[in-house]
């Protein structure tokens, strides 16, 4: 159905302009019931979109600032891969103090989602010690030596508590800050994993030291190499993962 599905949010819905930053989805600013919102059209299936919608609703109820799904006229939260969400005002983090606020927000996310079910068809980093494929990751596409290095980095996470991780919080464009709140947007990479993957932030804002920082940094580099393989960024990230 594509963008024609937007009419299910009302006859007065208007697409305004495309928004940059994403590669997996077509994202536009829209106006719904006279209010600015964001519409995202992608290839996610219904179970994946339902997982994301339920997560965002839970986080919103618990006081986190996240884009909230706006239902269609008949109450659906998505239609044929199309989702409409509230627009978050704000600026990306710029200072060390800003990033510390981001780290505090991420830790609240992690506390609120312990024992959350895994996103459909996804795998955590430690699952990939034995599995080869999980949604965006296919280790069969990577060089064998690179897989060995990534798995060695992820093996250091065995036994850790898991929770929902945002998946890409160190990208400033995924943060919307005001004086009073920190908003997290773009939950396309969110899944259940070890929280360390979210805490490798600019200025070491999560205050990780020694082995804790090394474990997190290596696991994060390995994850980003695998999930993006084999573009230039993924090759760069794999180069940061130590040889075994």
CATH number for the domain harbouring residue 81: 3.30.200.20
Using the 3D structure, point to which of 56, 86, 116 is the last residue of a domain.
Answer: 86
Count up the domains in the chain and report the number.
2
Give the integer Cα–Cα distance in Å for 229 and 12.
41
Tokens of 73: 């006229």
Q: Are residues 111 and 192 in the same domain?
A: yes
Residue 91 counted as domain residue: no
Q: Are residues 164 and 54 in the same domain?
A: no
Q: Are residues 235 and 115 in the same domain?
A: yes
Give the integer Cα–Cα distance in Å for 154 and 131.
12
Characterise 185 by phi-psi region: left (phi > 0), alpha (psi -120 to 50), beta (else).
Answer: beta
Strand 14-18 versus strand 26-32 pairing type: antiparallel
- Which H helix or E strand runs over 184? strand 182-184
Phi, psi of 92 (to 5 degrees): -70, 160
Look at residue 23 in the predicted model and tell me its pLDDT: 61
Which string of DSSP letters, residue by residue, matches 85-151? Answer: EEPPP-B---SHHHHHHHHHHHHHHHHHTTTPPPPTT---TTGGGT-SEETTEEGGGS-HHHHHHHH
Q: Are residues 113 and 209 in the same domain?
A: yes
Give the integer Cα–Cα distance in Å for 133 and 182.
33
Residue 27 counted as domain residue: yes
Q: Are residues 139 and 233 in the same domain?
A: yes
Cβ contact 110:98 at 8 Å: no
Q: What is the pLDDT along the chain (244 residues), one digit of tens a residue?
A: 689 999 999 989 999 999 875 566 899 999 999 999 999 999 889 999 999 999 999 999 999 999 999 999 999 999 999 999 999 999 999 999 999 999 999 999 999 999 999 999 999 999 999 999 988 899 999 999 999 999 999 999 999 999 999 999 999 999 999 999 999 999 999 999 999 999 999 999 999 999 999 999 999 999 999 999 989 999 999 999 998 7
Q: What is the pTM of this model?
A: 0.94
Q: Are residues 130 and 230 in the same domain?
A: yes
Q: Are residues 10 and 113 in the same domain?
A: no
Q: Are residues 39 and 113 in the same domain?
A: no
Q: Are residues 189 and 140 in the same domain?
A: yes
Domain residues for the domain of 141 are 96-239
Residue 244 counted as domain residue: no
């Amino acid at each position: 159905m594509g963008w024609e599905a937007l009419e299910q949010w009302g006859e007065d819905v208007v697409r305004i302009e495309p928004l940059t930053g994403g590669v997996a989805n077509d994202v536009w600013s829209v106006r719904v019931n006279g209010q600015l919102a964001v519409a995202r059209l992608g290839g996610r299936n219904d179970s994946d979109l339902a997982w994301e919608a339920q997560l965002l609703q839970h986080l919103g109820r618990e006081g986190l600032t996240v884009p909230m799904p706006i239902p269609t006229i008949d109450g659906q939260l998505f239609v044929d891969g199309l989702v409409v969400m509230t627009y978050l005002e704000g600026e990306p983090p710029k200072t060390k103090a800003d990033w510390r606020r981001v780290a505090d927000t991420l830790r609240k996310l992690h506390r609120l989602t312990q024992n959350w079910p895994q996103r459909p068809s996804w795998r955590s980093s430690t699952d990939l010690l034995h599995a080869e494929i999980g949604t965006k990751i296919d280790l069969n596409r990577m060089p064998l030596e690179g897989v060995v290095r990534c798995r060695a980095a992820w093996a250091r996470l065995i036994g850790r508590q898991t929770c929902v991780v945002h998946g890409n919080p160190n990208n400033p464009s995924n943060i919307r800050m005001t004086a009073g709140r920190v908003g997290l947007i773009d939950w396309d990479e969110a899944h259940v994993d070890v929280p360390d993957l979210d805490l490798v932030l600019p200025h070491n804002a999560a205050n990780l030291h020694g082995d804790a920082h090394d474990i997190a940094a290596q696991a994060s580099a390995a994850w980003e190499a695998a999930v993006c393989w084999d573009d230039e960024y993924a090759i760069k990230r794999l180069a940061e993962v130590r040889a075994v």
